[in-house]
Amino acid sequence: MRQLVPTTLILSLALGGCAFKKEAPTFAGADLPPDVAGNTAPSAQTTALNASVGGSLPLADQQDFEDAKRGLIASDPELLVAGPEGNAIWDMPSYAFIDGDAPASVNPSLWRQARLNNIHGLFEVTKGVYQLRGYDLANMSLIEGETGWIVVDPLTARETAAKAMAFAREHLGDKAVSAVIFSHSHIDHFGGVLGIVSPEEVEERKIPIIAPEFFVDEATSENIIAGVTMARRSLYMFGPRLPRGERGHVGSGLGKGPAYGTIGILPPTETITETTTELTIDGVKFVFQNAPGSEAPSELTFYLPDLKTFCGAEVVSHNMHNLYTLRGAKVRDALKWSGYIDEVLAVFGDAEVYFGSHHWPIWGNERIVDFLEKQRDTYKYINDQTLRLALHGYTPREIAEQLELPESLRTSFANRGYYGTIKHNAKAVYQRYFGWYDGNPANLDPLPPAEAGERYVELAGGAANLLKSAEAAYDKGEYRWVAEVVNHLVFADPDNQDARDLLARAYDQLGYQAESGPWRDVYLTGAFELRHGAPDKGVDLASAMGMIRHAPLERFLDAMAARLNAPKAEGKEMIVNLVFTDLGATYVLELKNSVLRHYKRDRHPDANATMKLTHELYLRMLTGTAGIKDTLFSDDLKIEGSRLDLVGFFRLFDKPDGTFNIVIP
């Protein structure tokens, strides 16, 4: 008797189980308050260290606060934004505790930056240029054209962008969107575009969408191919699971944090490929700089010559940026980045007003030039001095430990490590030129963490001896050492509660001391998960359907190949045709040598099976929004050939849920 395989089983296995649900972000009081979360109090050593930081910097300087408040038109003290399920995806009032002097549990320099990032609302930058700050991680800027608003960087989520746009129209007038500029390919600068304009409106009114070259591919590729891992790691970098408070999340340094809402994208109608490209957009003259491979693989800045106003996008900002981002991404080129800022000085150096995609503006040419020069020289200094020390044989950890900016750069608040740090940026430069291997044979093929942990515990004379020694080190304030040695015990014996508690306490203190917002969130989230475990749910691709719809199909097939479980596939050879009936496109998937390859070409005549489906159904399968009835009885799906082979094929793929452990094995 012929065995029937339900179509739904095939669909549940399709694409390696790429769809999974998102954990809702948590805000102050929504998950665990600090005392319940278990954070320890700041130690005497942490209190003293933070006090010394406060004494070493001109924290009384009010220039940045004056700039951040300048031009305020209106502010919403109850700025809350709900997501599609009614949960709060943006909650500025939850940061109201950030006021006055820094508590002992927060680095006073980071506290200062958090206070600055608390200043939110609608601001006039200069005549005809406005900003909405504090509605998301990034800023949304509005430039007044002859017929409507030219919108620059419409935030991360549809919901926050819509809220910001409505607030602007309430105070500036109900003008239509006349153009959109995406400054670069990071999601907090384009994801909310469908909250300000619809694809139908863009088509009907021929609204220009301007972006740098390679924008769509760069905007979608890393999120699809590596998005699961990045999303999990971003929970450490941005701390959404942490309570908001003096012992929890205070901000990311670059802003408060990202909004976890509905994400979209629009393909550009105009692409910037050359520096000094001139465009007149809705009556406003723009001069663009193309800056690929700077802060983002695809990025632009622009100048408004009639207003002598420069938009630096995210090439410059009021903090040291990341050459390597802790969520995980390709290392950025510090030398090229510095060169782009030098080019800005040469081409737009007469600017009288600066504004960016994060933080607050600067007014006055002398101050702008000083700001640009110091940002430029910070990235080049890290690049050059890392290479100089590498020439002497120093390894990444050794370089990071001794590298320090000169006084002229490190005393500028805009160069402080609120987001990137000189330590992990120096390691990024080393990685870019030399890779992960530091040249020491002992580090060429080290033991994996759990096995190494067992050996270290044995070497220490057992868990009790290791803990006793580590407790003594903790009492001395040697928290980095405590983290290093106790981490070995946790990986050797993750059920050792005393070890987990001590490691969490060490992470608490390291988080309290951190000047970098992401470092603080990483340490405190590590402590949180040692106490309360990893999240139950991963990211929700369905919330990004508005972006995924525009991604090249090849990126999804690349992601599928990266989920092939090679040991399971060993010795198997299969061919599957994917026919997209509405696109007139066919992809042939070939499995051989435990590698999956894909080709856009005619159907393979000897394929084990053929799936005929629409692009929309494929995306709904991918995101998990296609239910049983939607697929089993859909006219948009047909399967030819061996269904058993097709099931066997899809069973070879891992089904990641984005909740993997980080601080325990």
CA dist., res. 190 & res. 157, Å (int):
8
Intervals of the chain under pLDDT 50: 1-34
Burial of residue 61 (number of CB atoms within 10 Å: 0-12, 13-18, 19+): exposed
CA dist., res. 307 & res. 318, Å (int):
22
Whole-angstrom CA distances from 270 to 213, 265, 315, 405, 501 are 9, 15, 21, 40, 55
402 φ, ψ to 5°? -110, -15
Residue 260 identity (one-letter amino acid): Y
Q: Which two tokens stand for residue 533?
A: 């475990």
The DSSP secondary-structure symbol of 653 reads B
- pLDDT of 223 reads 75
- pLDDT of 640 reads 95
CA dist., res. 262 & res. 158, Å (int):
5
- pLDDT of 628 reads 60
Q: Which two tokens stand for residue 209?
A: 């969408």
Q: Which two tokens stand for residue 232?
A: 């999990």
Q: All domains of the chain, ordered by start, with CATH?
A: 7-18+563-650 (3.30.1050.10)
Q: Which two tokens stand for residue 462?
A: 């057992």
- pLDDT of 621 reads 79
What is the 3-class SS of 79-122, one letter each residue?
CEEECCCCCEEEEHHHHCCCCCCCCCCCCHHHHHHHHHHHCCEE
CA dist., res. 404 & res. 343, Å (int):
26
Tell me the CB-side half-sphere exposure of residue 8, using CA atoms within 13 A: 7
Q: Which two tokens stand for residue 562?
A: 């990266």
CA dist., res. 372 & res. 378, Å (int):
10
The pairing of beta strand 129-133 with beta strand 637-641: unpaired
- What are the pLDDT digits (tens) for 549-591? 888 899 889 989 999 999 999 999 999 999 999 999 999 999 9
Quickly tell me which residue has 């110091």 as its tokens: 374
CB 77 within 8 A of CB 94: no
- What are the pLDDT digits (tens) for 224-242? 888 889 999 999 999 999 9
What percent of the chain is helix, strand and coil (3-state, nearest 5)?
A: 45, 15, 40
CB 203 within 8 A of CB 233: no
* CA proximity to 418, closest of 333, 520, 507: 520
* CA proximity to 120, closest of 147, 91, 159, 148: 91
CA dist., res. 409 & res. 401, Å (int):
18
Residue 240 identity (one-letter amino acid): P
